Amino acid sequence: MRKRVLSLSRFIGCGGTLSAILLLGAHLFAQSTPLLVDVDHRAATSLDGAWHTIIDPYGNGLYNADGSINLHGYGENRQPKSKSDLVEYSFAKSPTLQVPGDWNTQRKDLLFYEGVVWYEKNFTYTPKPNTRTFLHVGAANYRAYVFVNGTKVCQHEGGFTPFDCDATTTLHSGNNFVVIAVDNTRLRDGVPTLKTDWWNYGGLTRDVSLIQVPEKYIDDFDLHLQRGSKTEIVGYVHVQGAGAGEPVVVRIPQAGIVQQATTDASGRALISIHAPGLELWSPEHPRLYRVEIQAGSGTGHDALTDDIGFRTIEVRGTEILLNGTPIFLRGVSIHGEAPMRGGRPTSEKDDATLLQWAKEMGVNFVRLPHYPQSARMMRLADRMGILVWEEVPVYWAIEFDNPQVLAKAQQQLAEIIRRDRDKASVIFWSVANETPATPARNRFLEAMIASARAQDSTRLITAALLSSRHGNEIQVNDPLGAYLDVVSFNEYAGWYQGTPQDIANIKITAIYPKPLLLSEFGAGAKAGFHADADTRWSEEFQANVYRQQLQMLRGVANLRGMCPWLLVDFRSPLRELPGIQDFYNRKGLISDQGQKKQAYFVMQKAYLQHTIGNAH
Ligand code: GCB
C-alpha cells in the first residue's frame, strides 16, 4: 500500500494526493488513499455489474480476534490446491449482487443486515507501460478494505465519498481479481454515529472502475471565478509526480481562452485568467463551458476535460447574492434514495426523476442532506440549473470531544470539497445538522468551518442548527451562527411542537444580522389517507401545517431561503408505526411510490406564484 504523508498546505486544497494530515493538536491522522478529481471525465474501465458476494456477519474473513485486519483472510480469494486442502469459503460458488447498489434492497434477507459483505470480481486487464492504474470506488458504506490479486491495496472509512487505490504494482496483464470487504457496522466513533433517521444502506453503492493515467498525471485542479469578480478565473492545476517546470495548458475554447503555466517544485501550476465576457451560470441560464487541461507534452502527457459553470455566490449583510444579484432560495430537501424502488440511487434516471419532481414544484435550490450524494447528481444539477446544499454526516450527537472523530469528519469534508468544487450548482458546504450546542461541539464545528474555508474560499458555509421554542417564540441563537455565512435552522412547529393552529402566532427571532435559511420544517402524511385537518397522518393535516407555516414565514425578516422537509418519503429504522410508517419517514411531499400529496401542491403554488420569499 502506498502511504504518503503530505504537508498541510496540500491538504487544505493546494493540490496533491489527499493522503492528508489532519493536524488536531497533537493528534495526527493519516488517510491512506489518494483522490483523483473529475474522474467522470476520464476514460475508465468499468467494473460495475455482477460481483460474487459472501455475507460474513461476524467478520470472520476480515478481522483477527483483536480486531486487526487479517491480510490472509477472504481477501486472498483462495482456491483449494488439492483435494485435501481446506478452504471454507468460495466466491465462485457464492451468489452475486449488482454494483453499484446497496445490498439491502437487492435481497429481502439483507434489508436489515449490518456487518461485513465481501465482493469479488474477475476481470482481464492490460496495463500500458509507463502508466499507473487506480481502482476508483465512488462510495462504499461504511468502511471498505480493498484487495487486488490477493494483496491489500487500501482501506477507506466514510460511506459517501469516493476513493482511489493505487493498484499499479498489484495488477498484471491477463486475468486479475479484486476483492472488497465492506462493513456497514455503525460505530459510536463514526461519522455519522449510531443513530440516524435514515437507512444504513451497505455495500458498493456507487460505480467502481479502473482509471489508467500517465506517470505524471493531473490529480487535482481548481478553477473558479475569484470571489466578487465576474472576469477573473483563478486556481491551480496539480500534476502528481511532476517537479518544477512541467508545462500546463488550460483552454476554454468557447471563451477564446488559452492559458499557459508551469508547475513549481511541488507540481502545482497557478492559474490566473482574465476572461471578460463570460456568460455566468445561474438557474435561469445554466451555462457550462468545456474546459480542457493538459499537463506535460509528448507521449507521457495527461489531458482532462471538464464542464464548468462560472458564477459567484456571496453574502452582503442579510442578503445572498448570486452573480451579484440578491436571490431567494426556493428549496426542498432530497434524501439519496431512488424513487419508486427505494435503495440508493444508481442511475441518472433515479437522480433526474428526483430533481425533475423538485423542479416542477418551482424550486431553484435543493438541500441534499445529510451526507454527500453522487457526483452524478451534482452534474445533473449543474445542467438543470439547480443550486445545491451539500452536507457531511455530522448529525445529532456524534463524539464531539474525540479528536479522531473530528479527523474523520474533516476527511469526508475534504473529499467532498475536492470532488465537487468544479460544480457551479454547489453553493453551500454544510458542516452539520442539529447538533446540541456544547463547548466540545463548538470547538469541533469551528474546526470544520475553518477547514472548509481553507479549502474553498468561494462557497458559503452553513449548518442546519437547532432552534428552541419558548411559548410562541422560536429562537435562533445557537452560538455557531457567529461563524456561519448563512444561519440555517430547523423548526417543526405544528408537528413536534404545538398544534398547526398555533403556528399563526409564532414569531421567529434570530440574534444574527445575517441571511436566515429555514433548513427544515414539515409534517408527516400517509399518501392517500384523507381525513380532517386535525387528524395526524392525513394529507389534510400535512397540507394545513404547510399553509400555516408559509403564512407565518412571510413575516420573518431576513429569510432568504427555505427547504421543506422533504420531497419524498424515505426509509428509516426510527419510523415503526404499523400501517402508517412501516419503516418510512412519511414527511415527504411525495410518497416513495411517486404519489404527490396535497402539501406538494401547496408548496408548488407558493413557489410558482412567488407568494413566499424576499431576496432583500
Ligand atoms: C430532523 C432531522 C431529519 C429528520 C427530521 C424528522 O430534524 O434533521 O434528519 O428526518 O427531523 O423527520 O424528524
Residues of the chain with pLDDT > 90, as a percent, come to 94
Average of per-residue pLDDT across 120-139? 97
Predicted TM-score (pTM) of this structure: 0.95
Mutate to test the pocket of ligand 1, among 565, 567, 574 (most ligand atoms within 8 A of CB): 565
Pocket of ligand 1 contains residue 434 by CB under 6 Å: yes
Pocket of ligand 1 contains residue 575 by CB under 6 Å: no
Per-residue pLDDT for 596 more than 90? yes
Cis peptide before 192 (omega within 30 of 0): yes
Q: How far is the CA of 414 from the centre of ligand 1 (A)?
A: 25
Q: Could you report the per-residue pLDDT of 151-175, keeping only the tens digit for each?
A: 999 999 999 999 999 999 999 999 9
Residue 33's pLDDT is what? 65
Q: How far is the CA of 587 from the centre of ligand 1 (A)?
A: 9
Q: What rounded mean pLDDT belongs to the chain?
A: 94
Residue 31's pLDDT is what? 43
What is the rounded distance in angstroms from the CA atom of residue 254 to the CA atom of residue 291?
9
Nearest Cα to 33, choosing from 21, 13, 18?
18
Q: Could you report the per-residue pLDDT of 375-394, keeping only the tens digit for each?
A: 999 999 999 999 999 999 99
Residue 228's pLDDT is what? 86
Per-residue pLDDT for 344 more than 80? yes
Confidence band for 196, pLDDT divided at 50, 70 and 90: very high
Q: How far is the CA of 517 from the centre of ligand 1 (A)?
A: 16
Q: Tell whether the torsion through CA atoms of 579, 581, 587 and 591 is positive or negative.
A: negative
Per-residue pLDDT for 353 more than 60? yes
Average of per-residue pLDDT across 362-386? 98
Per-residue pLDDT for 10 more than 80? no
Q: How far is the CA of 491 from the centre of ligand 1 (A)?
A: 10
Mutate to test the pocket of ligand 1, among 195, 196, 197, 519 (most ligand atoms within 8 A of CB): 197
Q: Could you report the per-residue pLDDT of 256-286, keeping only the tens digit for each?
A: 999 999 999 999 999 999 999 999 999 999 9
Pocket of ligand 1 contains residue 570 by CB under 6 Å: no
Per-residue pLDDT for 16 more than 90? no
Q: Could you report the per-residue pLDDT of 227-252, keeping only the tens digit for each?
A: 889 999 999 999 999 999 999 999 99
Q: Which residues pair with 204 in a beta bridge?
A: 140
Per-residue pLDDT for 140 more than 50? yes
Q: Which of 23-27, 133-137, 332-336 shows the lowest mean pLDDT across its residues?
A: 23-27
Residue 34's pLDDT is what? 80
Nearest Cα to 432, choosing from 370, 367, 520?
370
Q: Which residue has the cell 480469494?
A: 77
Pocket of ligand 1 contains residue 584 by CB under 6 Å: no
Residue 32's pLDDT is what? 53
Determine the atom of ligand 1 nearest the C-alpha atom of 396: 8
Q: What are phi and psi of 452, to 5 degrees?
A: -60, -45
Q: How far is the CA of 454 from the centre of ligand 1 (A)?
A: 30
Virtual torsion, Cα 596, 392, 49, 212, nearest 10 deg: 140
Cis peptide before 370 (omega within 30 of 0): yes
